[in-house]
């Protein structure tokens, strides 16, 4: 009986792990869908997001040299891509997450809203939750409808927002 229970327990653990892996893969594909468009988007999704989520780079605003160093570091850590793909990734990141780039409040994850717009974690979560229930924002004033969001912060950061 103990041996049978052990096999049953092992099967349950296996099924739980499979379900968790499927949920993680679905979350990662959702993460890739929220990236800005561009020719290198699929490459960024494959090379970068397959290893870590986009929050690792979305919260940064680096120039081309900074992104080049980051990508070189990722290659040193095991990222696999051709030289042409790596160059395209650097171009994509510099264009979409460079020093002057705006935060797309309709696709930004919580950490990007928090770090770049100066929202608290609770406020950034509220923005994401509101967006998921009510749909896209069309202008910065729409964010004032989100319960608990500091209107002063939103107004001060409006120039950093894209929709």
- Whether the pLDDT of residue 16 is over 60: the answer is no
Residue written as token pair 């409040």 = 105
| Residue (of 81, 77, 92, 105) closest to 40 by Cα position | 92
CA distance 57 to 133: 26
Task: Using alpha carbons only, give the angle 74, 75, 78 rounded to the nearest 5 degrees.
Answer: 90
Higher pLDDT, 128 or 24: 128
pLDDT on residue 50: 87
Token pair listed for 26: 């679905």
Q: Report pLDDT digits (tens) over 59-107.
A: 999 999 999 999 999 999 999 999 999 999 999 999 999 999 999 999 9
HSE (side-chain half, CA atoms, 13 Å) at 3: 0
pLDDT on residue 84: 98
Number of H helices and E strands in the chain, helices first, is 8, 2
Percent of the chain topping pLDDT 90: 80
- Whether the pLDDT of residue 21 is over 50: the answer is no
Residue 51: how many CB atoms within 10 A of its CB?
14
Query: Any idea which architecture 103-162 has in CATH?
Result: Orthogonal Bundle (1.10)
Percent of the chain topping pLDDT 70: 82
- Whether the pLDDT of residue 13 is over 70: the answer is no
Higher pLDDT, 94 or 9: 94
Q: Where are the domains of the chain?
A: 23-96, 103-162
Query: Any idea which architecture 23-96 has in CATH?
Result: Orthogonal Bundle (1.10)
């Amino acid at each position: 009986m103990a041996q049978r229970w052990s096999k049953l327990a092992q099967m349950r653990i296996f099924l739980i792990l499979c379900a968790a892996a499927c949920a993680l893969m679905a979350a990662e594909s959702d993460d890739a869908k929220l990236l800005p468009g561009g020719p290198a988007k699929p490459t960024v999704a494959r090379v970068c997001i397959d290893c870590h989520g986009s929050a690792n780079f979305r919260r940064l605003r680096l120039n081309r040299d900074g992104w080049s160093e980051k990508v070189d570091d990722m290659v040193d850590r095991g990222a696999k891509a051709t030289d042409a793909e790596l160059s395209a990734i650097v171009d994509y990141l510099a264009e979409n997450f460079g020093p002057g780039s705006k935060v797309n409040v309709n696709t930004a994850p919580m950490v990007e809203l928090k770090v770049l717009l100066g929202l608290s974690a609770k406020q950034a979560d509220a923005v994401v939750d509101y967006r998921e229930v009510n749909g896209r924002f069309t202008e910065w004033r729409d964010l004032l409808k989100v319960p608990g969001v500091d209107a002063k912060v939103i107004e001060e950061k409006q120039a950093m927002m894209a929709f």
